[in-house]
Amino acid sequence: MNLQAKLWIDQYGMLPHPEGGYYVETLLAPNHIAIDQRPTRPLYSSILFLLSDSDVSHFHTLQSDEVWYYQNGDPLDIVVIDEDGLLEVIHLGPFRGQVMQALVRKGCVFGSLVPTQGVSLVGCMVSPGFLFEEFTLHTQTELILRYPEHQEWIEKLTKSDVEEEIEE
């Protein structure tokens, strides 16, 4: 892990995130909302999220929309497989050809990585607010069976089945 990553982790009191990287919750709406049969939750929640080139944010799905905001450091690629199976790579960053913010719709499979050497600090706001019980971390086998045309990305952004077994 590079020095800048360590500095931000210490400065913001970040913790390891189950999907990879580090995070700290920064905002939580005081108002709550109930939608359909889902649990009541804050109207929105927001985190700072840090990812370095030595880690990835593994493919996962949320049941709420998530807006990503570039904050500092190196650009970040968000890899999204939508509900129709189409793959898009969103380049989040301050430079030409990149965007400063991006929306990932609920139900999409997505992960992220720093495509160059370095570290990226981003903000992520989820609305309705994030609940860990509505967070699904996907397995490599599951996604390759569903989306064989995206095997290369799936292998980059999931743990192999052997890695999964070792962690259990």
* Per-residue model confidence as pLDDT tens digits over 102-129: 999 999 999 999 999 999 999 999 999 9
List the CATH number of the domain containing 63: 2.60.120.10
Lowest-confidence pick of 34-38, 79-83, 113-117, 118-122: 34-38
How many structural domains comprise the chain?
Answer: 1
Q: Write out pLDDT tens, residues 127-152.
A: 999 988 889 999 999 999 999 999 99
What residue spans of the chain are helical by DSSP H?
3-12, 140-146, 151-156, 161-167
Residue 167 in any domain: the answer is no
pTM value > 0.75: yes
Domain containing residue 130: 3-31+40-157
**Alpha-carbon dihedral angle through residues 16, 21, 22, 23, given to the nearest 10 degrees:** -110
Residue 136 in any domain: the answer is yes
Residue 162 in any domain: the answer is no
Residue 164 in any domain: the answer is no
Residue 166 in any domain: the answer is no
Residue 131 in any domain: the answer is yes
Phi, psi of 69, deg, nearest 5: -125, 125
Residue 45 in any domain: the answer is yes
- Across the chain, how many H-helices and E-strands are there? 4, 13
Residue 76 in any domain: the answer is yes
